[in-house]
Amino acid sequence: MIPRFRPWLDWEELSTLFSRNKGCVEKFEKEFASKFQAAEAVAFPYGRSAQWAFFKTIGLENAEVIMPAYTCSVVAHAVILSGNVPRFIDIDLADFNMNLDLVEEAIDERTRVIIATHTFGYPQDIHRLETIVKDAENKYGHKVWLMQDCCHAFGAEWKGKMVGTSGDVAVYAFNVSKIITSVFGGMLTFQDKGIAEKVRRWRDRNFQTPKWSKTWKRRIYLLAFYFAFHPRLYGITYWLKTKTPVLRSLTDAYHLDDKIHFPPDANERMNDMEAAVGLRQLKKYDRIVENRRKNALFYQENLERRNGWVFPPIRLGATYSHYVVRVPEREKTIKHYASIGQEIGKLIQYCIPDMRSYYDGKKYPNASRTSRETINFTVTKENINTLI
- Of 46 and 234, nearer to ligand PLP (C-beta) is 46
- Of 122 and 238, nearer to ligand PLP (C-beta) is 122
Longest dimension (CA), the chain: 59
- Residue span binding ligand PLP (CB under 6 A) among the ranges 123-131, 148-156, 275-283, 377-385: 148-156
- Of 71 and 99, nearer to ligand PLP (C-beta) is 71
- Of 9 and 147, nearer to ligand PLP (C-beta) is 147
Which DSSP helix (H) or strand (E) runs through 141? Answer: none
Interface with ligand PLP (CB under 6 A), residue from 72, 196, 318, 324:
72
- Of 1 and 348, nearer to ligand PLP (C-beta) is 348
Scan residues 157-186 and list those touching ligand PLP (CB under 6 A).
173, 175, 186
Task: Write the binding mask 342 to 371 for ligand PLP: x where contact by CB under 6 A, - elsewhere.
Answer: ------------------------------
> Is 70 exposed, middle or buried, given 0-12, 13-18 or 19+ CB atoms closer than 10 A?
buried
The SS3 of residue 35 is helix
Interface with ligand PLP (CB under 6 A), residue from 113, 151, 162, 228:
151
Polymer length of the chain: 388
Distance CA 279, CA 385 (A): 30
- Of 16 and 73, nearer to ligand PLP (C-beta) is 73
Least distance to ligand PLP, CB of residue 104, Å: 22
Inter-residue contact 294 to 314 (CB < 8 Å) = no
- Residue span binding ligand PLP (CB under 6 A) among the ranges 43-51, 98-106, 120-128, 329-337: 43-51
Least distance to ligand PLP, CB of residue 188, Å: 12
Inter-residue contact 145 to 345 (CB < 8 Å) = no
Distance CA 54, CA 50 (A): 6
- Residue span binding ligand PLP (CB under 6 A) among the ranges 32-40, 70-78, 267-275, 366-374: 70-78
Interface with ligand PLP (CB under 6 A), residue from 16, 21, 57, 71:
71
- Residue span binding ligand PLP (CB under 6 A) among the ranges 11-19, 69-77, 356-364, 379-387: 69-77
Check residue 74 for interaction with ligand PLP (CB under 6 A).
yes
Scan residues 107-126 and list those touching ligand PLP (CB under 6 A).
117
Least distance to ligand PLP, CB of residue 380, Å: 15
> Is 315 exposed, middle or buried, given 0-12, 13-18 or 19+ CB atoms closer than 10 A?
middle
Interface with ligand PLP (CB under 6 A), residue from 48, 56, 112, 241:
48
- Of 53 and 279, nearer to ligand PLP (C-beta) is 53
Backbone angles phi, psi at 325, to 5 degrees: -115, 140
- Of 173 and 327, nearer to ligand PLP (C-beta) is 173
What number of chain residues touch ligand PLP (CB under 6 A)? 14
Least distance to ligand PLP, CB of residue 54, Å: 12
Neighbouring residues of 373: CB distance < 8 A, sequence distance ≥ 6 = 310, 326, 327, 328, 330
Q: Is the peptide bond before 236 cis (omega within 30 degrees of 0)?
A: no
Distance CA 255, CA 48 (A): 12
| Half-sphere exposure at residue 353, Cβ-oriented, CA atoms within 13 angstroms | 19
Radius of gyration in angstroms for the set of CA atoms belonging to the chain, rounded to a whole number? 20
The SS3 of residue 236 is helix
Inter-residue contact 161 to 126 (CB < 8 Å) = yes
Distance CA 41, CA 12 (A): 24
The site for ligand PLP (CB under 6 A) is made up of 46-48, 71-72, 74-75, 117, 149, 151-152, 173, 175, 186
